Structure 1
C-alpha cells in the first residue's frame, strides 16, 4: 500500500489567468493498494480515471487496484479539489506500480486530464508555480521566496461550479485590458520572490476574470473591505468562490482573522476564515 498527501491550491493570483498557482497546507490524503475486495468507487470517479491513465500509459492491468481518500480540501470552492484528485490518482498509481514515471511525465499526464497546468503544477511541485504549454509538454518556473508574505482564506458555505465561473467570462478583451494584465506579471513575480508586498500589490490587479466572477460571489464587495483594515490584496481563489487575502508576514494573524470574521458576518453568508501557510513540498508519500 502507498499513502500520499496532495495540497490544495489557488490559481490565477489576479492577472496570471490559467498561468499561476500556489499550494497551501491543506491536504487530501490517498491510500492506494492491490486488493480483490469489491471496488468502493464508480468508474467515472476522477481519481480512478487518473489512475487508469497511468495503468494504460504503462500497459498495466488495473483490475486489482483500489483506493481510499479522505480530505480537507472542499469541493467546488476554487481550491483545486479536482487537481488533488488528478495528481493523487496519477502519483498513487505510479508509486503502486514501482515509481516508473518521471516528474515531467506525471505533470504532462495531469495537465492532459485537467486541461491546463495552473492547479496541478503547484499541487504536484508545491510552492508557487508559473506554467505554460509547449505542445504537449508543460514548461514551468517554480518561485522561491515568499517568506514574508502571509495568506488567509475565506471559504464560504456555498459552492460555485467552475462551468458557471467560465461562462461568466467575456468572449474577448480590449488591447488595453490585455496589456494591463501582461504589464503586471513582472511585479507579481518579483513581489512573490522577494516577499515585496508593494510589488505584489502592483502586480495583482486583474481585468480578465475578477471583474466578471465577483458578481457570482455574494458578499465579495463587503469582504474586500479587509484591504481597508490591512495593507494587502484580496483575490478570487481560482474560479471562486473562496477568497484569498495576501498581506505582510508580520501581521497579527489572530487579530486579522477576527476582523475578517466581523466583516464576513455582515454579508449574510457563512464564511470559514483561516490562515493558509504555503506548502513548499507538493505531493508527498507519507
Structure 2
C-alpha cells in the first residue's frame, strides 16, 4: 500500500447473509444478492480516530495478522443491508474492511484466513463465512464447507421495521437443552445440510422447526406463528428466523411470488410494518475492485 504513487482505492461489495436455517444455529449460512459496499482509500491522509470502532478493530486485526502496521486510510460504507435485522450487517462491515485491506496489500491472506479473522471479531463464523465465500456454508470454529446454491431456490424475506438487538437475542438462548431436543435439532440440521448439498430442495420441507434458539426469540414477533403458517400455506418449503432476527425468512422453489404476496397481506392485516423482498442466493461472496480515484471520499 505505497502512498508515493498517489491515492489508491479499493471498493468491496459484500453480500448480506441469512443464517441458522432453524436448527442449524451458529453453523449454517447463505449469501444473498443484497449488498453493502465498503470503500477504502489510502494516500489521502485520514485518521484512525475518525473511523468507526468496528472499522478500527478490523484494521488492527488485519495489521496483526500480516505483521505490519496499516497506513492511515479513509473509509466509506453504504448499501442496502439493514442493521439489526438478522441479515449480517455487521459482518458486511468487518468483511469489507478485511477484504479491502487484503486487496490493497496484495492478498497476503487466504480467504480462509480472512474468515477466521472476521469470525474472531464477530464471535461466531456463520455470517462471515457466507459473506466471504458465497453460497451455502457450514461452519465450525476451525473451518467451513461450502457449496453453491441453485438458482431455483429463492429466499423470501419479510424484513420488519423492528430491530432485534443481537446482544439481547443471544442472551435469551438457553444454555442447555434436553437430549430429546438436541437430537431433534441434530436430525433436522443434518438433513437440511444434505438436501442443500445435493440440491434436492424438495426434501427440505418440514425440516426447519427449531427447539433451541427460536422459541425465546420469536416471542417478540407477535405475528410469528401466523406468518409461518401463511408461508407454508402459500407453498414455502421452509420458514425460519434469519440470524438473530427480526427478519422472517421463507424458502421457496417456483412459488416465491405467491409466498411474498401472502406474507405481505398477513403482515398488513396484523399491523406488522416492514417490507417483503424476493432474493436470490449469491454464490460469489465478497468481491473487490482496485482503482486510482480522482476525488476524495464524500
Question: Which residue is 1:228 aligned to?
Answer: 233
Matched, 1:205 2:209: yes
Among 50, 57, 63, the alignment partner of 2:65 is 57
Deviation at 1:80, TM superposition (A): 0.4
Contact 1:126 1:281 in 2 (8 A): yes
Contact 1:13 1:20 in 2 (8 A): yes
Distance in 1 between the 2:19 and 2:162 partners? 19
Distance in 2 between the 1:59 and 1:143 partners? 32
Question: Which residue is 2:4 aligned to?
Answer: none
Within 5 Å, give how 1:10-89 maps onto structure 2: 10-39=18-47, 42-89=50-97
Within 5 Å, give how 1:1-286 maps onto structure 2: 1-39=9-47, 42-133=50-141, 138-224=142-228, 225-248=230-253, 250-251=254-255, 253-286=256-289
Q: How many residues align?
A: 280
Secondary structure at the aligned position of 1:265 is classed as helix
Contact 2:48 2:72 in 1 (8 A): no
CA RMSD of aligned residues (A): 1.8
Contact 1:124 1:283 in 2 (8 A): yes
Distance in 1 between the 2:48 and 2:280 partners? 33
Contact 2:48 2:73 in 1 (8 A): no
Contact 1:24 1:277 in 2 (8 A): yes
Deviation at 1:285, TM superposition (A): 1.2
Of 268-277 and 210-219, the range deviating more from structure 2:
210-219
Contact 2:242 2:248 in 1 (8 A): yes
Secondary structure at the aligned position of 1:6 is classed as strand
Deviation at 1:268, TM superposition (A): 1.1
Contact 2:160 2:275 in 1 (8 A): yes
Deviation at 1:37, TM superposition (A): 4.2
Q: Give me the TM-score of the superposition, normalised by structure 1.
A: 0.91
Distance in 2 between the 1:11 and 1:279 partners? 14
Distance in 1 between the 2:197 and 2:65 partners? 36
Deviation at 1:109, TM superposition (A): 0.9
Structure 2 unaligned regions, length at least 5: 1-8, 290-298
Deviation at 1:43, TM superposition (A): 4.8
Instruction: Give CA deviations for 1:198-256 in whole Å, capped at 9, x if unaligned.
Output: 421243221111111110223212221221222422110001000110022x22x4443
Secondary structure at the aligned position of 2:143 is classed as strand
Instruction: Give CA deviations for 1:173-202 in whole Å, capped at 9, x if unaligned.
Output: 100000111112231023213333442124
Contact 1:33 1:96 in 2 (8 A): no
